[in-house]
Structure 1
Amino acid sequence: MHYVTVEGLTKSYGVKPLFNNISFHIEEGDKIALVALNGTGKSTLLRILCGKETPDEGKVWIHKGVTVVMLDQQADFDMSKSVIENIFDHSHPVLNAIKEYELLTDEEGPEPDVDKLSEAITRMDDLNAWHFDTKVKQILGKLNIHHLDRIMSTLSGGQQKRVALAKVLIDIGFEHKHTLLIMDEPTNHLDVAMIEWLENYLDQEKVTLLLVTHDRYFLDNVCNEILEIDQEQLFVYKGDYLNYLEKKAAREESERASVEKARNTFRKELEWMRKQPKARTTKSKSRIDAFYDVKEKATTRLQNQQLELNVKMSRLGGKILELKKVYKSFGNLVITKGFDYTFAKGERIGIVGKNGVGKSTFINMLLGLEQPDSGKINVGETIIFGDYSQQGLVVKEDMRIIEFVKNIAENFPLADGTKVSAAQFLELFLFPPEKQYTYISKLSGGEKRRLHLLSILFRNPNFLVLDEPTNDLDLPTLSILENFLLDYQGCIIIVSHDRYFMDKLVDHLFVFEGNGEIRDFPGNYTQYREWEKDQDRERADSKKEVKPVEKPIEAPVQQVAENKTRKLSFKEKREIELLEQEIEKLEAEKKDIETKLASGEIAFDKLEPLTLRIGEIIQLLDEKGMRWLELSE
């Protein structure tokens, strides 16, 4: 099924176009990643497709049977309403029933009224809403969304982003057979376990997808096509990110050869033009027209969009950073429990752990922004920290880019001993002269992040602390940043959920396991995940090998039963009962269809629907089986 056609689309802000006369198609089942430098129109194009912005020229045609659902970087919530009211923000009998049931059975809420709960269960039964409720529970649980009655304004930015993601996933799972899901940086504010779950979920749901992401593993695992906006034009690449890089390099090489050929032709034609008399024949007129075409091609500026990071690093002394018996906690949340560590020159450490275990607090203690409850943190005299935080740029008042940079310094030393002016350094960071007089408030999120990085490197740090450095940065900039960090001689600490970025740069990990436990793991993130999975398998195997112990004669029967049964909430007990009934029905239906297919007596026109249905049943059995296992464990 054909979903979207875009023809001749043009959009400008000010004088310079973001993209010019671009066209492409989206078919059912496509999973497309949109790639471009920050500030060249990625988010604008997404917003045009879902009707939130209008193009200057061109047309967007969307099939009348297709519903467009978008996860924007800035979610549009009613901040005075609760989490569940924002998630289920439109009225429908099934959605209303689920909303009421979820509020009554919220484990973080008060004990429900028995009569109201009974009415809610009856309504769920009548509307056959249990299957969709199971999917809602899975989404909310995996994204760690609880306290459904909390008001949105009390949530952090990361929590709000996860609520927005949950709302979008619930929307596409409800009544929308044909959905185009548009996602702008969906992995921001998700920990790695959530990102891995989202990859699997999007694959299972078989949605049609258009997304912008900086996470290359996520891109490779989810997408099969890449659209690139480059110098106002759009290019299409089938395949994964590596294939895109190879094909792009070949395209740029071909463009360079084409421009060089045009320049040679231009020199010859220019000489002919200068010799031409004023009275020109019809034949020479066509050659003159061709000359101007060649001139335009020959004067094409081949932009080498390369972020060159070769700043000078301040000298690093013998003493770097020491932590001795560091304790830190906030109420019941223990961050560190007697942590000891001495940093060596050139160390590259990644910090990983679930959201809320204290990674940012740990970083703030290293930087002196937070004090430990006890213990010592000794910083070497030569250490100059470069803190690339999630907070981003701090500007007292809106100012132009060039003014902001000159307030730091007029000139900046490079690694080779030379100096460059503020304007020249901005060009190295892909801020051309015409862009340097733009107000910071007018920059895209990624451009602000790039400017923030520039302002940190100006100070010649020798100890970089990078807290989620990949958020909102475009892929070309990330690639160059990685190459710079590989050659960087100072110490680096990276807090990131970008698995590709971590794998490429870190030597070992500090794994925050909760309750103040910090594991020093010798390897990168992928190696850690493999080790973690091996540990899970070993624990599972050891449980299987344990033989049941005979019940002692003197043990009270009632006590044994109490120890054997885990305390399940009413809601969980009800869900297990329903899952067992649904799994039994699905197994019976699957067996019936298999018998019919094996008989060889099915009419051809009924064969395809039965084949599709058995695929749906297998997927449903997987989903419900996983949920049953989660509850039973």
Structure 2
Amino acid sequence: MHYVTVENLTKAYGIVPLFNNISFHINEGDKIALVARNGVGKSTLLRILSGKETPDSGTVWINKDVTVALFEQDPKFDENKTILENIFHTENPVIKAIKEYEAAVDAAEEAAESGKEDDGQAISDALTKMDDLDAWSFESKVKEIMDKLNIHHLKQNVASLSGGQRKRVALAQTLIDLGFEHQHTLLIMDEPTNHLDVEMIEWLEHYLNGENVTLLLVTHDRYFLDAVSEEIWEMERSELYTYKGDYANYLEKKTARIESELSTIDKAKNTFRKELEWMRKQPKARTTKSKSRQDNFYEVEAQAKKKIEDAQLQLEVKMTRLGGKIAELKKVYKSYGEKVIMKGFEYTFSRGERIGVVGKNGVGKSTFLNILQGIEPADSGKVNIGDTVVFGNFSQQGLEFKEDMRVIEYVKTFAETFPLAKGGSMSASQFLELFLFPGDKQYTYLSSLSGGEKKRLQLLVILFMNPNFLILDEPTNDLDLPTLGVLENFLSEFQGCVLIVSHDRYFMDRLVDHLFVFEGDGEIRDFPGNYTLYREWLKANEKKGKDKWGELGKMKSEGASTNVVAGPQAQTSTSNKQATNNQRKPTYNEKKEFEALEKEMKDLEAEKKKLEDSLGNLPFEEISKASIRIGQIGTLLADKEMRWLELSEVM
């Protein structure tokens, strides 16, 4: 079934168009990911398709039998109503029955807690209505959505929710509405994974794949993109390009497209020089034949003067010298009332460490980062920071400024010039240009920047202060994919320490050496590997039905200083390991294989990184070979990592 047709769509804010004369079709069952740099109109296009904005010109045709559901980055609620009232906001009889049932159950629970008697009549009436409407199957789906997105306290007013809570409530509202919309629905999602933890993201992947839904989404999460979409659209230079397949295929095809365009431009330049000479020699009176050639000349001229602007964010930083002593935490305790965040945590940081910090929302990851930086005090214990350490804190709070000001004014409040890694310095304006803020954009007010542009500016300001210990709290939210790629490359070469809190699995897999896993109740474990390895380990142990944390938490990834203990955990770790060793000792061959696997995995990861970094510079005929090899390495790594985990249980 044909859902949407868009023809010659144009939209501009000011002189430069966001997109110009773009056309496309969406059919039933399509699953499309839309990618582009920040500020080029992704969200605007989604709002036009949903009818919330109008184009400057062009036509948007949507089948009369199709309902468009939009999940936005900045959800709108009735601030005076509760979570329950906002989620169940439609007048559908089934939703109304579920709403009444949920309210009756909540009232009964409140009565029981306060010691009051409840005759149960409200619940009885609600149950009868649920039965009459056969609403139980959908009610179970509603329960699943609410539980998986960790939405409780339904009588809480939405005005009191945090940004992350608001996003989860909006997502629940969208998914619940989806179940009762018309049979044919186009679901449009703008960054749906922001503020979701990894378990929620993985659940959302399975949910969307299990639903018969036509999908158009914007996301920076590359694993999520590959899991739920089958086609990638890229908005670039006011045009729309289409690529079938996954993200790796998109990168390969885009590189080939740019090379082809550059080749075409080179040929047009050669033709243009010849035709320009002919034009200059022609008399004023021309024949019909020469008039045709003249018209063709202007087409060649336009092609020859076409520019392929593949501007890349450039990150260079003259890192402040980092001394021998970096940071040391000794028996650190932290609690909020009965909620324990850290319980006897100890760790000594080493130069060049890249550590991922993971755990469910609300277990204390941000508190840990604040204690390390001295923003919050610990209840007890010592936090010793080296004299040469300069923290660069990329926080979730974003830009902080007293009043609205222009971009260039904001940057100059920190410094007028910036020292370069290779010597010399540059002005604030020049540094802004490296971060893709051209001259006219530098005089834009901060309030008018897109979410991604604000994040990019926040990153600029942090690097402007020459840190040697970067703390990144959800850095990937709202950043576009090209900027993320540059940031990843920069961090992989950064000589200082890096602590990353992120739910972006792809980002974590590329960068971290090991993980601090916040399990709750003050338990913090050190996992020797990246996030994918950790998730595989968890799933493997869930199947076995036993916890090997103590044993694995004592292992060390090669080159990492992982001396984490957490009070009683150290004893548990030792006893578990002794119990395992009592069951069976590793053979000599197993020890040798275990040692060899660590080296082989390290070599394979280095080869994979080298190939990935070189993809953009390889000739077209070499790209396919490199992509095949990257896939082979991924398979080999998965096999070796699983074998490493098996052997680790008897080491």
Specify if TM > 0.5. Answer: yes
Per the TM alignment, residue 194 of structure 1 is displaced from its structure 2 partner at its CA by 0.4
What is the CA distance between 1:527 and its match in structure 2? 0.5
Instruction: State the shift of 1:255 in Å.
Output: 0.7
> Where in structure 2 are the equivalents of 1:383-398 lying within 5 Å?
383-398=389-404
Task: Give the secondary structure class of the aligned counterpart of 2:196.
Answer: coil
- Deviation of 1:4 after TM superposition, in Å, equals 0.7
Contact 1:108 1:147 in 2 (8 A): no
CA distance in 2: counterparts of 1:406 and 1:188, whole angstroms: 30
AA of the residue aligned to 1:15: I
Taking the aligned partners of 2:288 and 2:419, their CA distance within structure 1 comes to 59
Distance 1:468 1:455 in 2: 16
Query: Could you list the per-position Cα deviations for residues 406-452 of structure 1 after superposition, in whole angstroms to 9, with x for gaps in the alignment?
Result: 33222222221132222222221111223222221111100110011
The answer to whether structure 1 residue 341 and structure 2 residue 378 are counterparts is no
1:353 aligns with 2:370: no
Q: Deviations over 1:528-566 (max 9, x none)?
A: 111111221111799xxxxxxxxxxxxxxxxxxxxxxxx
In structure 2, distance between residues paired with 1:265 and 1:140: 63
Out of 438-447 and 229-238, give the one that drifted further.
Answer: 438-447
- Give runs of aligned pairs for residues 254-265 of structure 1, distance below 5 A: 254-265=260-271
Distance 1:52 1:149, change over 3 A: same
Give the aligned partner of residue 424 of structure 1: 430
Which of 212, 235, 239 is the matching residue for 1:233?
A: 239
* Structure-2 residue corresponding to 1:46: 46
Instruction: Please say which structure displays the higher CA radius of gyration.
Output: 1
Q: Secondary structure of 1:312's match? A: coil
Query: 2:533 matched to 1:527?
Result: yes
Counterpart of 1:620 in structure 2 is none
Q: Does residue 1:312 correspond to 2:329, yes or no?
A: no
Counterpart residue number, 2:405: 399
Contact 1:11 1:18 in 2 (8 A): yes
Any conservation in 2 of the 1:108–1:146 contact (CA below 8 Å)?
A: no
CA distance in 1: counterparts of 2:145 and 2:432, whole angstroms: 43
Give deviations 1:382-401, integer Å, cap 9, x for gaps. 00111011111112222222
Select between 352-361 and 101-110 the one with higher mean Cα deviation: 101-110
* Amino acid in structure 1 at the alignment position of 2:59: K
Confirm or deny: 8 A CA contact 2:395 2:472 kept in the other structure.
yes
The yes-or-no answer on 1:143 pairing with 2:152 is: no
Query: Is 1:109–1:147's contact at 8 Å kept on the other side of the alignment?
Result: no
> 1:482-493 residue pairs with structure 2 within 5 A?
482-493=488-499
- In structure 2, the CA distance between the partners of 1:521 and 1:113, relative to structure 1 (3 Å rule), is farther
2:182 counterpart of 1:176: yes
Of 400-409 and 362-371, the range deviating more from structure 2: 400-409
| Alignment partners' CA distance in 2, 1:108 and 1:368 | 42
| Aligned residues of 2:334 and 2:342 also touching (Cα < 8 A) | yes
Specify whether residues 526 and 367 from structure 1 end up closer, same or farther in structure 2 by C-alpha distance, changes over 3 A only: same
- Does the 8 Å contact 2:66/2:186 carry over to 1? yes
Displacement after TM superposition at 1:405 (Å): 2.0
Q: Specify the code of the residue in structure 2 equivalent to 1:383.
A: V
- Contact 1:400–1:439 (CA<8 Å) still a contact in 2? yes
Match of 1:203 among 199, 209, 218: 209
Alpha carbon RMSD of aligned pairs, Å?
Answer: 1.5
Query: Is the contact made by 1:426 and 1:432 (CA closer than 8 Å) also made in structure 2?
Result: yes
CA distance in 2, matches of 1:259, 1:113: 80
- After alignment, is 500-509 or 406-415 more displaced? 406-415
What runs of 5+ residues in structure 2 fail to find an aligned partner? 113-117, 549-651
Between 158-167 and 85-94, the greater mean CA deviation after superposition: 85-94
Deviation of 1:109 (Å): 4.2
How many matched pairs? 542
Counterpart residue number, 1:118: 124
2:595 is matched with none
Task: Output the CA distance in 2 between the equivalents of 1:472 and 1:438.
Answer: 19
Aligned to 2:31: 31
CA 1:108–1:245 in 2, change beyond 3 Å: closer, same or farther?
farther
- Superposition map of 1:471-486 within 5 A: 471-486=477-492
The answer (yes or no) to whether the contact 2:65–2:182 under 8 Å persists in 1 is no
Provide, for residues 29-72 of structure 1, a one-character-per-residue CA deviation record: whole Å limited to 9, x for no partner. 11110000000000000000000000001111111111111111
TM-score relative to the length of structure 1: 0.84
Q: Which residue of the partner structure matches residue 4 of structure 2? A: 4
Q: Distance in 1 between matches of 2:393 and 2:285?
A: 68
Match of 1:556 in 2: none
Q: Does 1:78 align with 2:81?
A: no
Cα distance in structure 2, aligned partners of 1:322 and 1:285:
79
1:65–1:310 Cα change, 3 Å: same
State the match for 2:309 in structure 1: 303
Q: Which position in structure 1 is the counterpart of 2:14?
A: 14
Deviation at 1:226, TM superposition (A): 0.6
Instruction: Give distance in 2, aligned partners of 1:123 and 1:344.
Output: 63
Q: Aligned to 2:172, what secondary structure does the other structure show?
A: helix
> What amino acid is aligned across from residue 39 of structure 2 in structure 1?
G
181 and 108 in structure 1: CA distance in 2 versus 1, 3 angstrom threshold: farther
Bigger mean CA offset, 126-135 vs 397-406 = 397-406
User: Cα deviations across residues 586-622 of structure 1 (Å, max 9, x unaligned)?
Assistant: xxxxxxxxxxxxxxxxxxxxxxxxxxxxxxxxxxxxx
Residues 181-232 of structure 1, C-alpha deviations (whole Å, 9 max, x = no match): 1000000111000000000000001211100000000000100001110000
Distance 1:110 1:6 in 2: 55
Asked if the contact 1:464/1:492 (under 8 Å) is kept, the reply is: yes
Letter of the structure 2 residue corresponding to residue 36 of structure 1: A
Tell me how far 1:108 sits from its aligned partner.
Answer: 6.8
Q: Which amino acid aligns with 1:90?
A: T
Mapped to 1, the partners of 2:441 and 2:160 lie a distance apart of 37
Structure 1 portions without partners, runs of 5+: 543-633
**Which whole-Å CA distance do the structure 2 matches of 1:276 and 1:498 have between them?**
62
Maintained 8 Å contact 2:312/2:436:
yes
For 1:121 and 1:479, locate their aligned partners in 2 and report how far apart those are by CA, in whole Å: 53
Identity %: 69
Per the alignment, do residues 300 and 113 of structure 1 end up closer, same or farther by CA in structure 2, a change over 3 Å counting? farther
| 1:217 counterpart residue number | 223
Asked whether 1:367 is paired with 2:357, we answer no
3-state SS of paired residue (1:173): helix
CA distance in structure 1 between the partners assigned to 2:133 and 2:283 by the alignment:
87
Structure 1 residue 279 displacement after superposition? 3.9
Mapped pair 1:494 → 2:494: no
Question: Are residues 1:128 and 2:120 paired?
Answer: no
Match of 2:637 in 1: none
Distance 2:479 2:426 in 1: 24
Q: Residue 538 of structure 1 aligns with which residue?
A: 544
Question: Matches of 1:524 and 1:251 in 2, distance apart?
Answer: 33
* Paired residue type of 1:51: G
Name the residue aligned to 1:185.
Answer: 191
Contact kept? 2:541, 2:547, Cα under 8 Å? no
Distance 1:110 1:156 in 2: 28
SS of 2:180's partner is: coil
Describe how 1:562-577 pairs up with structure 2 within 5 A. none
Instruction: Report 1:240-319 matches (<5 A).
Output: 240-319=246-325
2:439 paired with 1:436: no
- Mapped to 1, the partners of 2:386 and 2:483 lie a distance apart of 32
**What are the superposed Cα offsets for residues 71-112 of structure 1, whole Å, 9 maximum, x if unpaired?**
111111011101110001121221111001112224974436
> Contact between 2:67 and 2:181, CA under 8 Å: does it hold in 1?
no
Q: What is the alpha-carbon distance in structure 2 between the residues aligned to residue 170 and residue 198 of structure 1?
A: 13
**Secondary structure of the corresponding residue to residue 390 of structure 1:** coil
TM-score, length of structure 2 as denominator length:
0.81
Structure 1 residue 291: Cα displacement: 2.0
